[in-house]
Every structure is written in C-alpha cells, then in structure tokens.
Amino acid sequence: MMFSREDTWNLLTEHNKQPQHLKHALAVEAAMRAYARRFGEDEELWGILGLIHDLDYEEHPEEHPFVGARMLEELGWPEEIVRAVLSHATYSDVARESLMEKALFAVDELTGLVIAVALVRPSKNIADVKVKSVRKKWKDKAFARAVNREEIEQGAEELGVDLSEHIAVVIEALKPVAADLEIDGSLAHG
C-alpha cells in the first residue's frame, strides 16, 4: 500500500506543528525528488520518504527514528520506507543499502546548511546561493554548528557524488520550494 503526498502531509502535520520541522520536511522532499529524477527513480516514492522521514522527531526526539518507523509500520507503510527512515540515523544500526536510503542520508543534513546559508545572505534568497558560498560557510564551524558536516561528506561519498556537485543539486532542488521555506527573499523585506 502506498500513501499519497496529501495523506503523507496530513500524517506529518498531525505529529509536527513547529514551522522549522515542516520546512525541513519540505526541503528534504524537494532534494529527494531531485535525486530521484537524476537517478531515474520513482520521484513520488522518494519525495514521500523525504517528507515523512522525521515523523516522530518533534514528539519523540530521544527515540527518533524508532517511534516513527514503528508508527509507519503499524499504519501499513511499505517496508522500503520504514527501512529508509531507520537507516537515515547513523545510530540505528540499519545499514543504508538502497540508492533511496543513501540519498535520504546524503540530503538530510545538507538541506539545513544550504537554507542557513541562504538566510544569512542580505537578500535571504536561495537564488543568490552558490556552491562556493556553501563551501565557504562550511569551513566556519560556528556557522550552523548543529549541522553534521562529516555526515554530509559521508552521504555524498555513499551516494557516489562529488561534494560540490551534491551541494549544487540541493541548491537547485530548493529553488522551486523557496517560498515555502522562506528563502525566496521575502524575509529581506520584512
């Protein structure tokens, strides 16, 4: 059984109310869809995984992603989604095997870093973010310090994509959802 994007969004918003969590889900969805297109995979499946991967994070941060995976399993979600949700956490001891699992791990942290870079630009617009801007901020360990740069590097390596190319894919993926993520320049005018 597969769930629609609308069903997925409804489930996500039932368990997540914080705007930053919903924005993260939308960003990861966009990046997953971009990689699905790039690899000729099922864009809907990959996008839905990106949207739902942190289902339990807001309510159960200490038990993430185990509670979420269990919830999805009980609701009859496909095993490949449940397994991917588990595998995106390095501490779950679920090895990332499929390309979809590797992509989720690779984009999860990077979306946050790219958004942070967009938000510190005077324009607050993803359209002005370049790979070199992200690479420059990457070196500043105080900038977006919660972002695990080692996991981003590991994710790109597992996915078989050069880090700069990986950053470029994510930047481009976020542009169509910039308004939803508030990285479309609208915050620069407020």
Give the residue among 67, 35, 40 at the shortest CA–CA distance from 50.
Answer: 35
Position 1 pLDDT exceeds 60: no
Helix-then-strand count for the chain, H and E: 10, 0
Other CB atoms within a 10 A radius of the CB of residue 22 amount to: 19
Structure tokens at 33: 């869809």
pTM, to two decimals: 0.96
25 touches 52 (CB < 8 A): yes
Whole-angstrom distance, CA of residue 34 vs CA of residue 54: 19
pLDDT on residue 175: 98
What is the distance of C-alpha 109 from the center of its chain? 7
- C-beta separation of 156 from 164 below 8 A: no
Q: What's the pLDDT tens digit per position in 26-41?
A: 999 999 999 999 999 9
Distance of CA 116 to the CA centre of its chain: 13
Res 3: pLDDT: 86
Average pLDDT across the chain, whole number: 95
- pLDDT per position as a tens digit, 77-123: 999 999 999 999 989 999 999 999 999 999 999 999 999 999 999 99
Q: Which domains does the chain have, with CATH numbers?
A: 5-189 (1.10.3210)
